[in-house]
Chain A
Amino acid sequence: MSETRYFYEEDSEKGTERQIVAFALGSETYGVDISQVREIIPIQKIVPVPRAPDFVEGIINLRGKVIPVLDLRKHFGFEKKERDDEQKIVLAESHGESIGVIVDSVYSVLRIPEDSIEPPASVITGDDVGYISGIAKINDSLIVLLDLSQIISDAESRTLKEIDLASAVVK
């Protein structure tokens, strides 16, 4: 299989640094703590799931497991983008549930000093406070740090809400 996989080790000695996987979404740079990322795979066939919330792009087959894939662009309300080879699926796992998120491209693994991270301003995060865990400044650019486990639980509660709404309408 032609998958790119990244394996990391916990770096417990240096408490002052964080390792993040940085990726692009539109013109912005985002980062996810390495401990939340299980692997990164090339974009592949995604089968749409009718009746799922719109930010659910569909499902993929990962070595025999069926995994839902979210479109982060849709999740953040960015415009739609045509598929290209740069795009990757970042696989995350939280509470035993796996999901994939589509990102525009993956840059690299960065070590960023803890003191370069600031808490997010509420003006930017708006209602999405939960899954933006901070903003890192590296040189002159900003990296938005995401908490993928929050995105998973957020997506779960949103699907449940939509389902409940749908069944309420039916009744």
Chain B
Amino acid sequence: MKKDDLAEFQEDLQIFLIELDEILADTERNLVDLERSPDAALVQEVFRAMHTVKGGAATLGLDDAVEVTHTMESIMERVRSGEQELTSEMVDALFHVLDWLKMWKVSLEEHIDSPPAEDLIKEMQRFVLEPHTESAKVKTRPADGKHTLGEELNQKLDEYLSQNMPVYEVVVKFRPDADLLSVRCFQVFTLVSEAVDVIFSEPSVDEMESDDVGDVLTMYISCEDGGEMARQIAGSVGDVIEVSVTPYKPTNAPEAGRESPDATVKTSSLGRTVRVDVELLDFLMNMIGELVIDRTRLTQLASRLLVDKDTAVIGNELAALASHLQRTSQELQEGIMKARLLPLKNIFSKFPRMIRDLANRCGKQIDLEIRGENTELDRTVLEVIDDPLIHILRNAVDHGIETPEERRHMGKPERGKVILSAWHEENQVVIEITDDGAGMDPEALKRSAVNKGLVSVEEAGRLSEKEALELIFMPGFSTAKVATQVSGRGVGMDVVRTNLERINGHVEVRSRLGVGTTFTLKLPLTLAIMRALLVECSGCIYAIPTSSVEEAITVSKDGIQTIKGKPTLLVRGRIFPFVSLEGVLNDDPWAHQHGLQYAVLTRSNGEALALGVDDLIGEEEIVLKDMGKMLARLKGIAGATILPDGDPALILDVNRLL
């Protein structure tokens, strides 16, 4: 098929590609689970998934993918029928199919030639005895849509009605000449049954799977919305030409005949979601920022009017208007922030396969459990945490979980376990990675740090257990005795921590020797909005993200002591080198110290630092703005924001200030 011809299928193709993403991710996970323990339901699911992809590809005339998925389907068929057991070798081959499908998807999106499939098909056919035959058959059956319901079904439907659960008959008509009616049927059935309770379908799922279908699908469903949802869902599937929904009448009620015309919709492929360019969202955010500024001006105007008795009435009205505008713009802002959120599933979905491959390579047996994958985060945060998560998971597989023999010795189950969980906590998202592996030995960490010259023997001796664990975040630290293929790639946990702190996130570690290790990541919901402490320094206002602020204090002259001539503050027994913000920004940290009233206590790269400022203005929610390429890489400056009065202000990156 020529690529040009794809143009007319563009809309169908888009929907198919979006679906494909999900199907591939689910299948990958199912295969990982299947390899661990055979499960007929999962085999069935993988089989169906391939069937759906095959159907979609066939409708779009993409023959290479039809052939590839058909071979995979055949293998799954043999597993399903019990003719063959699913071996690791087969799972590897099946993964190759998924990899191929991923490449194939990219080729469709970018309008380039699809990847070659011959070798893959050969590899697959090793597992199937009979050569591949006709990939899809369509069987016709009478399309009158009339059939008598069995006595049993009638009783079942009446039962629903007697419990005040309305029942509807949904009749879906397909284009009779459509390719792969069974696939379409199955698609409608699956989508509808995800949304509502399907009591009965004709043809049945088994019939659909054996291609025993006609161009009509009849379902009896129970739902509360008059069948509207089912109607819309069915209408969104390709090749559907008509969907009619009729309330089911109890058997003892008089026959009312078909009264469907008003309930019939013509099919449309428009879903209820749209894709929006992130840039458009950013633009909308900017516009809202403008609204907020205008609102501030209105408030100021109102207060001027309020002073005079003659204008106080107008002033009051204006003030009320301004506060309404504030609520509106706040809700707009929240709405747009929500539109930018994506579920963690987007990055979690590749981990089961990754862990499985890594574990195989290390000769370990590891189960990955994922919880809370529907927790949502801003896409920019998702992008930043992907690499750190991969790194931590690799470490868990490589250094955390022991080999089966070691585990047996320890009296642990041979299979190790890694749990990846995510949840919301206040205004943050927490991600935890827990393994039940060997844990980390604080003493070994100390020795290693001393050997590498990172700390002195005395310093190491003074470290508490918790502090010793923190050593892994030091640049140049890596516990692996030998760099392995899996995790020793020169990137350490220090990079993980810096990357997370750059986005105002945080990572902590807990570990017990022999029991396991837990990494806890705390992340902001979004990068675009953060809380910050506003400070003034030589006439300019700067924003310091509160995530890196410990405390802001008043400085008295006698509170400042010197160590080797350098000023320091002693706060509750902790020593903070005291520098002026102005000095730091002019790359002369110890200058401009005179008359500083306040100090902001921060942690810069894990080290305490007191920043002297002229004034503390307060804590605000600020919106991070890009300053353009020209100023993007300035050291210690994370970006800019716009203050309520409309002035721009710089946001400091405390970690890179010095």
Contact = CB atoms under 8 A, between A and B. Distances in A.
A98 B628 CA distance: 7
Given A64-B289, A66-B625, A166 B630 contact: no
B648 A48 contact: no
- Give the most central of A63, A65, A152, A160: most B CB within 10 Å: A65
A160 B634 CA distance: 9
Nearest to A170: B635
B627 A66 contact: yes
A49 B631 contact: yes
B540 interface: yes
Interface stretch (B180-188, B381-389, B636-644): B636-644
A73 to B, nearest CB: 18
Nearest to B624: A66
A61 B627 contact: no
Instruction: Determine chain A's interface SS by DSSP, over half rule.
Output: mixed
B627 A51 contact: no
Contacts of A52: 631, 634
A59 B635 contact: no
Contacts of B289: 64
B367 to A, nearest CB: 44
A33 to B, nearest CB: 21
B587 A61 contact: no
A64 B650 contact: no
Contact of B631 (A59, A60, A63): A59
A47 B650 contact: yes
Interface in A153-169: 155-156, 159-160, 163, 166-167
A119 interface: no
A77 interface: no
Interface in A87-140: 97-99
Q: How large is the interface on A (under 10, 10 to 19, 20 to 34, 35 or more residues)?
A: 20 to 34
A62 to B, nearest CB: 10
B648 A61 contact: yes
B629 interface: yes
Interface in B573-611: 585-587
A52 B633 CA distance: 10
Interface string A12-23: 000000000000
Contacts of B625: 64-66
Given A61-B646, A64-B289, A65-B286, A51 B637 contact: yes
Given A159-B630, A166-B635, A59 B286 contact: no
B648 to A, nearest CB: 5
A49 B629 contact: no
A47 B647 contact: yes
Given A47-B649, A51-B587, A59-B648, A152 B640 contact: no
A68 interface: yes
Contacts of A160: 633
B560 interface: no
Contacts of B642: 61, 64, 66
Given A97-B628, A99-B630, A156-B629, A59 B540 contact: no
A48 B540 contact: yes
A152 B626 CA distance: 16
Given A51-B587, A167-B635, A61 B629 contact: no
Instruction: Determine chain B's interface SS by DSSP, over half rule.
Output: mixed
A59 B627 contact: yes
A72 interface: no
Q: How large is the interface on B (under 10, 10 to 19, 20 to 34, 35 or more residues)?
A: 20 to 34
B640 A155 contact: no
Given A65-B625, A159-B630, A49 B650 contact: yes
Contacts of B285: 64
Nearest to B646: A61
A40 interface: no
A171 B529 CA distance: 33
Contacts of B634: 49, 51-52, 159, 163
A64 B633 contact: no
A49 B646 CA distance: 17
- Give the most central of B540, B626, B640, B648: most A CB within 10 Å: B648
A152 B286 contact: no
B630 A152 contact: yes
A155 B627 CA distance: 14
A56 interface: yes
Contacts of B570: none
Contacts of A98: 628
Interface string B222-258: 0000000000000000000000000000000000000
A41 interface: no
A68 B540 contact: no
Given A98-B628, A155-B630, A49 B286 contact: no
B640 A50 contact: no
Nearest to B628: A97
A59 B636 CA distance: 16
Contacts of B636: 51
- Give the most central of B290, B587, B634, B641: most A CB within 10 Å: B634
Contacts of A155: 630
A45 interface: yes
B621 to A, nearest CB: 16
Interface string A64-82: 1111100000000000000
Contacts of B491: none
Contacts of B630: 56, 68, 97, 99, 152, 155-156, 159
A159 B637 contact: no
Contacts of A61: 642, 646-648
B627 A68 contact: yes
A98 B639 CA distance: 16
A167 B286 CA distance: 33
B457 interface: no
B628 A67 contact: yes
B648 A51 contact: no
A64 B288 CA distance: 8
Contacts of A66: 625-628, 639-642, 648
A163 B635 contact: yes
A165 to B, nearest CB: 12
Interface string A33-60: 0000000000001011111100010011
A60 B631 CA distance: 13
Contacts of B646: 61
- Give the most central of A51, A60, A156: most B CB within 10 Å: A51
A63 B627 contact: no
B321 interface: no
6 contacts: A47-B650, A51-B634, A52-B631, A59-B650, A64-B642, A163-B635
Interface of A: 45, 47-52, 56, 59-61, 63-68, 97-99, 152, 155-156, 159-160, 163, 166-167
Given A59-B640, A64-B290, A167-B635, 4 more contacts: A49-B631, A56-B630, A63-B287, A163-B634
